[in-house]
Amino acid sequence: MEKINPDNRVLDLGCGYGRLIPGLATKAKSVIGIDTSFSSLLLAKKLVKNIPNHALFLMNAIHLGFRNNTFDLVICIQNGISAFHVNPKTLIKESIRVTKPEGKVLFSTYSEKFWNHRLEWFQIQSDAGLLGEIDYTKTGNGVIVCQDGFRATTMRKEQFIEITSEFDVNIKIVEVDESSLFCEITVL
């Protein structure tokens, strides 16, 4: 991905406790973080309290309360495209809507090559009682299903290509360290 222009306005979808905001804020004119978790935003507020060029909002990523063509860069990393449990096409469409022409939208998901590590991590979370027991009869092919109804998925390169094909965009997909797949969308 290219460097962030210091005049850019950046939107962080699913910002959680705000861990990306300090780094983004040093490189951009302004950073807005949104999340649907009020408790996460309260943690973020403490973390970024001394950063003047940021704002935090309780907001759903598929119903963004921003005008068209507002941001230079929209990011949704850490498998947000799957973890948000929304229609990926709707999420991408809404992200493109708020991005300026020639702006970028960045999504990341786990690589298929990272499957064993990811499944091991979820098993540790399950053993600790943070998730339900993994249902290994339904788990596989990039999907982890727990008996409590929790479901974790990923996106493949082909899925990104298919979903973005109807939009007026260019995409570049890069695998990093055999752990993450990044889809960089340039809005035309």
Render 13-75 in DSSP notation, one character per residue.
ET-TT-TTHHHHHTTSSEEEEEES-HHHHHHHHHHTTT-TTEEEEE--TTS--S-TT-EEEEE
pLDDT for 121 beyond 70:
yes
Cα(167)–Cα(16) distance, integer angstroms: 28
Instruction: Tell the residue number behind the tokens 């290219």, with chain if given.
Output: 2
Please give the pLDDT value at position 2.
59
Q: State pLDDT tens for residues 51-108.
A: 999 999 999 999 999 999 999 999 999 888 988 889 999 999 999 999 999 999 999 9
% of the chain surpassing 70 pLDDT: 99
CA distance 143 to 141: 6
- Determine the CATH number of domain 60-111+154-187: 3.40.50.150
In angstroms, the CA 44 to CA 173 distance is: 30
Q: Two tokens at 125?
A: 């979370």
Average pLDDT over the chain reads 94
Percent of the chain with pLDDT over 90: 85
pTM recorded for the entire structure: 0.90
Q: Which of 5-9, 21-25, 68-72, 163-167 has the lowest mean pLDDT?
A: 5-9
Centre a 10 Å sphere on the Cβ of residue 167 and count the other Cβ atoms it contains: 17
* Distance of alpha carbon 126 from alpha carbon 150, whole angstroms: 11
> Residue 120 pLDDT > 70, yes or no?
yes
The answer to whether 52 touches 46, Cβ cutoff 8 Å, is: no
Domain ranges of the chain: 60-111+154-187
Report pLDDT for 142: 87
Instruction: Report which DSSP code applies to 70.
Output: -
Q: Is the pLDDT of residue 150 over 60?
A: yes
CA gap 98, 72 in Å, rounded:
9
The mean per-residue pLDDT over the stretch 7-29 comes to 96
Which amino acid belongs to residue 138?
K
Distance CA 81, CA 156 (A): 11
Measure CA 108 to chain center.
Answer: 6
CB atoms < 10 A from the CB of 44, how many? 23
Which pLDDT score is estimated for 6? 80
Q: What is the pLDDT of residues 31-47, one digit of tens each?
A: 999 999 999 999 999 99
**Per-residue confidence band for 141, with pLDDT thresholds at 50, 70 and 90:** confident
Q: What pLDDT does 79 receive?
A: 85
Q: Is the pLDDT of residue 1 over 60?
A: no
Max CA distance (Å), the chain? 50
